[in-house]
């Protein structure tokens, strides 16, 4: 039986944040008439392609403080918001709907089906059960305020309808037709910049090494004190992997300002102190003087990378440990622990990328995800200036902000 509406609410954007806001609202206020608009002909298109088609739903981290540290922008606001909705709540929410999530060794959590369609099907079933009015293929071109404080939505430049509350869950605001409406409603945007990308390099040290990875590298721009650590992957264009992606996120704005041409440094052995490397070299000089450097595999470095770094440090791979001069030894330690590389452009990470920038956080009350200027106007997800590193943190921000907006709209 169709429900009797107590209020009419529009949620704009049929992605992760929009769905979670709509489902929360219908769950908490069964009488609200919820309209979910999506300009594309497909719901949850990013969820579909996320995590390589598996959807990295959240991260196995349950401490709001530790979790919030994974967000280059929005950390402070999200830390408080995670006290309302955090990964354990996400896990429980899906479990109550018979979707189990599993954690991988690095903490990323996926549905046990390893298929993002599981998440999409769950949302669509729930939305139908809750009688949410699913309106896809309908882009909202403008929003304005009526004299009574309700909102007038311009739908596909034709229809104009009023709603008591509106939640903007638009995703990246890159070339969004609603940018002007958002400004007219009194909000300003932090400039947009891509985050989570790989670095392009053209460097003899990595020629022919595409596909090699090291488990524990440290990378930084200007100071090793502001470095990121983790696995690093050599690709056919340059470098990727968690260490690089994290650095791209934390330095997103600096790198954009440099038009993605910048110097960065790599310590290939982040877990080994420099003095231990020097001691190991000394030990080999004494104990394995006749062995060639080429034939000594040290610190689990991939053989081809080791040889390439030797050559770059101007050391013949046939050199024996007893022949290794002090100067060459120092050059090699430097190459291993602080090699300098030049990035010449970026490549979008195919598994996960986000846009940083968007509606300014200080203009939003994060306890309700409501505008500080316009009552009953809410925001959720990536259209706000907040973003996380890879690992399920961006979806968690969408669930958290969507949940809080839904709760506030249901009041
Ligand atoms: C390839 C890829 C893989 C990713 N994988 C992961 C992952 O595994 N884990 C993770 O945590 N994050 C991942 N992310 C990031 C994650 O997808 C985003 O952080 C998340 O989708 C943001 O949710 P959102 O609802 O805010 O925005 P979106 O998912 O972008 O949804 C916004 C929706 O609003 C619609 N819309 C916009 N304007 C209008 C309008 N005017 N009218 C009507 N509709 C409109 C858009 O069409 C869109 O469908 C990935 C991103 C990419 C690109």
pLDDT of residue 159: 77
CB of residue 12 inside a 6 A radius of ligand 1: yes
| 94-118 burial: b if 16+ Cβ within 10 Å, else e | beeeebebebeeebbbbbeeeebeb
The answer as to CATH 1.10.3720.10 being correct for domain 8-193+356-410 is: no
Q: Write down the mean pLDDT value for the chain.
A: 96
Take atom 33 of ligand 1 and give the residue whose Cα is closest. Answer: 13
**Residue 392 beta carbon below 6 angstroms from any ligand 1 atom:** yes
CA nearest to 25, candidates 364, 411, 399, 395 = 411
Neighbours of 155 (CB within 10 A): 19
Distance 385 CA to ligand 1 centre (A): 14
Give CA 178 to chain center in angstroms.
23
Read off the pLDDT of each residue in 364-369 and give the average, rounded to a whole number. Answer: 98
Write out the two tokens for 181: 């409406």
Ligand 1 pocket, residue 16 CB under 6 Å? yes
Give the Cα separation of 174 and 168 in Å (integer): 14
- Residue given tokens 């590389």 in the structure block: 341
Q: How far apart are CA 251 and CA 238, in angstroms?
A: 18
Task: Average the pLDDT over 236-256 and give the result.
Answer: 97
CA of 220 to the centre of ligand 1 (A): 29
Q: Which CATH fold topology does 197-348 show?
A: Elongation Factor Tu (Ef-tu); domain 3 (2.40.30)
Span(s) in the chain for CATH 2.40.30.10: 197-348
Instruction: Extract the tokens encoding 362.
Output: 């200080």
Ligand 1 centroid from CA 389, angstroms: 15
CA atoms within 13 A on the CB side of 195: 26
Closest ligand 1 atom to 354 CA? 15
- Model confidence pLDDT, tens digit, residues 310-346: 999 999 999 999 999 999 999 999 999 999 999 999 9
Residue 383 CA, closest ligand 1 atom number: 26
Which residues lie below 8 Å from residue 276, measured CB to CB, with a gap of 6+?
none
181-233 pLDDT tens trace: 999 999 999 999 999 999 999 999 999 999 999 999 999 998 888 999 999 99
pLDDT in tens, 280-309: 999 999 999 999 999 998 888 999 999 999
Please determine, for residue 162, whether its predicted confidence score (pLDDT) is greater than 80: yes
Which SS3 state, helix, strand or coil, does residue 65 take? helix
Q: Are strands 133-136 and 8-12 parallel, antiparallel or unpaired?
A: unpaired
* pLDDT at res. 4: 58
Provide the percentage of residues in the chain whose pLDDT is more than 90. 92
Describe the chain by its helix, strand, coil percentages, rounded to 5. 35, 25, 35
- Strand 151-155, strand 159-163: pairing: antiparallel
Residues in the chain: 411
- For the chain, helix (H) and strand (E) counts, in that order, are 13, 22
List, in sequence order, every residue forming a beta bridge with 140; answer none if it has no partner. Answer: 155
Confidence grade of residue 3 (pLDDT, cut at 50, 70, 90)? low
CATH 3.50.50.60, the chain: domain bounds: 8-193+356-410
- Please state the rounded mean pLDDT for residues 83-99: 98
Which tokens sit at 78? 């999200």
Question: How far, in Å, from the CA of 131 to the mean position of ligand 1?
Answer: 23
**CA-to-CA separations, 117 to 47, 57, 120, 366, in angstroms, rounded:** 8, 12, 5, 30
d(CA 89, CA 67): 14
Query: Strands (DSSP E) along 88-209, which ranges?
Result: 101-103, 108-111, 133-136, 140-145, 151-155, 159-163, 165-168, 189-195, 197-200
């Amino acid at each position: 039986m169709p429900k009797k509406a107590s209020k009419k609410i529009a949620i704009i954007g049929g992605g992760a944040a929009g769905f979670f806001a709509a489902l929360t609202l219908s769950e908490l206020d069964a009488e609200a008439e919820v309209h979910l608009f999506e300009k594309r002909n497909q719901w949850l298109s990013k969820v579909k392609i996320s995590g390589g088609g598996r959807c990295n739903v959240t991260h196995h981290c349950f401490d709001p403080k530790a979790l919030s540290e994974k967000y280059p922008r929005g950390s402070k606001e999200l830390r408080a918001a995670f006290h309302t909705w955090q990964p354990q709540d996400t896990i429980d929410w899906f479990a109550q709907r018979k979707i189990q999530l599993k954690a991988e060794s690095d903490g990323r959590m996926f549905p046990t089906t390893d298929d993002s369609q599981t998440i999409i099907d769950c949302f669509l079933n729930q939305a139908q059960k809750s009688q949410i009015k699913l309106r896809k293929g309908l882009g909202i071109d403008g929003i304005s305020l009526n004299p009574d404080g309700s909102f007038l939505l311009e739908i596909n430049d034709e229809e104009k309808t009023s709603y008591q509350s509106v939640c903007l869950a638009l995703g990246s605001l890159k070339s969004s037709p609603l940018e002007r409406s958002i400004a007219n409603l009194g909000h300003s945007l932090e400039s947009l910049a891509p985050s989570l990308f790989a670095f392009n390099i053209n460097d003899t040290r990595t020629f022919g090494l595409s596909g090699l990875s090291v488990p524990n590298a440290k990378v930084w721009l200007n100071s090793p004190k502001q470095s990121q650590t983790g696995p690093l992957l050599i690709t056919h264009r340059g470098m990727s992997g968690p260490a690089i992606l994290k650095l791209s996120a934390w330095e997103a704005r600096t790198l954009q300002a440099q038009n993605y041409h910048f110097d960065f440094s790599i310590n290939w052995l982040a877990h080994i102190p420099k003095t231990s490397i020097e001691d190991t070299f000394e030990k080999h000089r004494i104990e394995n003087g006749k062995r060639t450097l080429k034939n000594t595999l040290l610190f689990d470095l991939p053989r081809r990378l080791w040889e390439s770094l030797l050559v770059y440090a101007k050391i013949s791979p046939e050199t024996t440990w007893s022949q290794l001069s002090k100067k060459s030894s120092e050059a090699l330690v430097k190459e291993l622990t602080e090699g300098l590389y030049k990035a010449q452009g970026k490549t979008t990470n195919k598994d996960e990328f986000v846009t940083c920038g968007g509606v300014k956080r200080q203009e939003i009350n994060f306890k309700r995800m409501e505008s500080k200027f316009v009552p009953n106007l809410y925001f959720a997800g990536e259209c706000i200036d907040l973003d996380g590193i890879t690992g399920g943190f961006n979806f968690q921000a969408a669930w958290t902000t969507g949940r809080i907006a839904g709760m506030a709209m249901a009041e």
